[in-house]
């Protein structure tokens, strides 16, 4: 009897911990980026993500280890990854990962990111021309989880236009689904501290939505402790009745 009840209680605690952490994302950063989310320019966004329960990993190489990440950030790459690294990125995206590719004005990162996009099978392209900003349309990432951004406008600076994919925020941001994952391409650094990317700002809200995943694939609602206790009590009662019958 005691052993059965102890087992039930352990399962309740484990279930509560697992469900509570369902929305947390593990975010990797490429060491070949000129500015990652570990750079001081992106410190507000990093703090916002951590406060939301996400983990922002130190900059690292593109190896098989990134397959355990939920999100991988490449910020204005200094050079294109190798063929083997691009193959790893392709596997990462196609098996459910979210890849974020950042560019900046002056085509910073554009050439390397175009090499990545072609290598992973994306039809998107970074153009060496100015982007145009527009309010968010109805979209899985604009209405996802915590924030509804439809009709709101992203804070931006002059950047490069993105061609192809599904456009959000005008030609500043586009994304594409590859396999069970997604690749996002940004025409400028809308994650920069200049745009105050906090949980209460449009820019910060967008990144929190993206790291949670597309609409319908976001965090699982966390049951109240009282609900979990009721479930546990029901299981315990079932165990007791079965033992009495035995």
Cα 114 to Cα 117: distance, rounded to the nearest angstrom = 5
> Domain limits of the chain?
23-219
CATH hierarchy code of domain 23-219: 3.40.50
Cα 199 to Cα 114: distance, rounded to the nearest angstrom = 30
In the DSSP assignment, the letter for residue 217 is: S
* pTM score: 0.80
User: How large is the C-alpha radius of gyration of the chain?
Assistant: 21
Secondary structure (3-state) at 62:
coil
The per-residue pLDDT for 213 is 83
The per-residue pLDDT for 12 is 39
The per-residue pLDDT for 7 is 43
The per-residue pLDDT for 220 is 33
List the pLDDT tens digit at each of the 246 positions of the chain: 455 544 433 443 334 444 434 568 999 999 999 999 999 999 999 999 999 999 999 999 999 999 999 999 999 999 999 999 999 999 999 999 999 999 998 898 899 999 999 999 999 999 999 999 999 999 988 886 679 999 999 999 889 999 999 999 999 999 999 999 999 999 999 999 999 999 999 999 999 999 988 754 433 333 444 434 444 444 444 444 444 445
User: Any residues with CB less than 8 A from the CB of 112 and at least 6 apart, and which?
Assistant: 77, 78, 79, 80, 81
Secondary structure (3-state) at 121:
coil
The per-residue pLDDT for 246 is 52
> Could you tell me which of 43, 64, 46, 63 has the C-alpha nearest to residue 55?
46
In the DSSP assignment, the letter for residue 98 is: E
**Phi and psi for 5 in degrees, rounded to 5?**
-65, -40
Secondary structure (3-state) at 122:
coil
The C-alpha angle with vertex 181 and arms to 44 and 110, in degrees rounded to 5, equals 60
Tokens 């604009």 — which residue? 142
């Amino acid at each position: 009897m005691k052993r059965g009840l102890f087992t039930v209680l352990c399962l309740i605690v484990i279930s509560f911990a697992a469900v509570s952490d369902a929305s947390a994302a593990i975010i990797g950063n490429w060491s070949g980026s000129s500015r990652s989310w570990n750079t001081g320019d992106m410190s507000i966004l990093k703090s916002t993500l951590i406060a939301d329960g996400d983990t922002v990993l130190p900059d690292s190489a593109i190896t098989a280890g990134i397959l355990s990440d939920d999100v991988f950030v490449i910020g204005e790459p200094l050079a294109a990854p190798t063929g083997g690294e691009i193959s790893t990125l392709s596997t990462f995206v196609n098996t459910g990962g979210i890849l974020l590719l950042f560019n900046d004005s002056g085509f910073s990162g554009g050439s390397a990111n175009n090499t990545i996009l072609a290598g992973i099978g994306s039809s998107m392209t970074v153009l060496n021309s100015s982007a145009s900003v527009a309010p968010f349309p109805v979209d899985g990432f604009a209405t996802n989880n915590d924030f509804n951004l439809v009709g709101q406008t992203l804070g931006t600076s002059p950047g490069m236009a993105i061609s192809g994919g599904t456009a959000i925020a005008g030609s500043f941001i586009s994304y594409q689904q590859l396999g069970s994952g997604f690749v996002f391409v940004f025409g400028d650094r809308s994650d920069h501290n200049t745009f105050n990317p906090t949980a209460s700002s449009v820019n910060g809200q967008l990144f929190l939505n993206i790291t949670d995943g597309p609409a319908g694939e976001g965090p699982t609602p966390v049951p109240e402790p009282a609900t979990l206790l009721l479930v546990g009590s029901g299981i315990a009662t079932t165990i007791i009745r079965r033992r009495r019958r035995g």
